[in-house]
Amino acid sequence: MGCDGGTIPKRHELVKGPKKVEKVDKNAELAAKWKYCALSQEKLRRPIVACELGRLYNKDAVIEYLLDKSAERPNTEAVTHIRGTKDIKELNLTDNPEWEGERRNTKGDKYEDIHCGMFICPVVGLEMNGRHRFCYLQTCGCVFSDRALKEVKTEICHKCGDPFQDSDIIVLNGTKEEVEKLTQKMEEKRAKAKTKTKKSKKSKAAESVTTSSQPKDDKQVKVAQNGELHSSEESSQSDVAGPSSSSGSSKGSKLSLSSSSSSSSSAATKRSIQEMEEKSEAFKSIFTTHSSAKRTKEQISNWVTHTPYHF
């Protein structure tokens, strides 16, 4: 029925089987990770930055995202963990001398190596094309192959000489398991930073409270001391005066007490400049109480005139 022209249909043409799972081309996947920005999907160009999860971005694209997060972008999921420029690090990459860039073969008459990387490891010379595992250091941003870090074990960067620790090494474009470990590490680091900031804020608030309360306490103490002094003076005056029969005697006693107290206070406050140890001799010599201002008997004259003339 139907098959005009004598054609004989086969089973796979009549019966629909299960759909085949689409496989991703490995070469295209590697090129997308190592040659294109994870946010804008444009070709990577200097300056290139990396996040704490090991993804590669163009610095311009990340800054545009941070300036305007409300704009619609195709791959915003890859940048949700970036809060500011402190969460990214500019990479110190080593150029590959065999990479021609835009000057590569465009005619098609020569062999073109698709897996040729733009950058290489400065220690081993491996190309950063996705076939080899690469890492970068959070301290300085230098990029090395995992083989170089394992073979030459040091605590100093091979390229710039800055010290680093094992916790500063972050894998670039790692597997799902490695990305999960990096996310846990990032969350723990941010939680510690939050606790530190809270503690510092509390300590600063406590210091400000203590500094503001100190002058007030000093003033209250002074006021209290002055009040006690006044009360003690009044009580002493009343004890010295005692009961008097007449108002005149009480007034005279008060006057005498006030005069005696004023004289005692003046005597206590008055002090000779020559007895002050903190003053210098040059300062003390200005005054007549100094020993240099006193005259000897030979210098004192026996006669005094109102209009002395010396010829």
70 and 157 assigned to the same domain? yes
pLDDT at residue 111 in the model: 62
* Residue 246 domain-assigned (yes or no): no
The whole-number pLDDT of residue 255 equals: 44
- Work out the pLDDT band at 87, boundaries 50, 70, 90: very high
**Residues 69, 51 share a domain:** yes
- What is the per-residue pLDDT across 11-55, written as a single tens digit (0 to 9) for each? 878 888 787 777 777 777 887 889 899 999 899 999 999 999 999
pLDDT at 251 over 60: no
What angle in degrees, to the nearest 10, is found between the helix axes of 176-241 and 247-269?
130
Q: Establish whether the linkage from the previous residue to 308 is cis, with ω within 30° of 0.
A: no
Is 51 within a domain?
yes
Percentage of the chain lying above the pLDDT 90 cut: 28
Residue burial 190-208, b: 16+ Cβ < 10 Å; e: rest: eeeeeeeeeeeeeeeeeee
Percentage of the chain beyond pLDDT 70 is: 69
Find the domain containing 194 and state its range.
175-206
End residue of a domain, out of 125, 158, 174: 174
Contacts of 200 (CB under 8 A, 6+ apart): none
User: Is residue 61 located within the same domain as residue 147?
Assistant: yes
Residue 196 or residue 249, greater confidence: 196
Residue 186 lies in a domain: yes
Looking at the fold, whether 71 and 163 belong to one and the same domain comes out as yes
Residue 65 sits in the same domain as residue 29: yes
54 and 121 part of one domain: yes
77 and 141 inside one domain: yes
Q: Is 261 helix (H, G, I), strand (E, B) or coil?
A: helix
Q: Is 183 found in the same domain as 167? A: no
Q: How confident is the model at residue 248 (pLDDT cuts 50, 70, 90)?
A: very low
HSE of 297, CA atoms in CB hemisphere, 13 A: 0
Q: Which residues, 6 or more positions from 79, have their beta carbon under 8 angstroms from its beta carbon?
A: 38, 39, 51, 57, 62, 65
pLDDT, residue 62, reads: 93
Task: Considering only residues 10 and 101, tell me which one the structure prediction assigns the higher pLDDT.
Answer: 10
Q: How many domains does the chain have?
A: 2
Write out pLDDT tens, residues 192-241.
988 888 888 878 777 777 776 665 555 454 444 455 444 444 444 444 34
> Does residue 199 sit in the same domain as residue 160?
no
Closest C-alpha among 100, 173, 91 to residue 130: 173
Split at pLDDT 50, 70, 90, the class of 283 is confident
Q: Which of 135, 98, 133, 134 is nearest to 117 (CA)?
A: 98
pLDDT at position 106: 59
Residue 51 has a pLDDT of 94
Residue 148 lies in a domain: yes
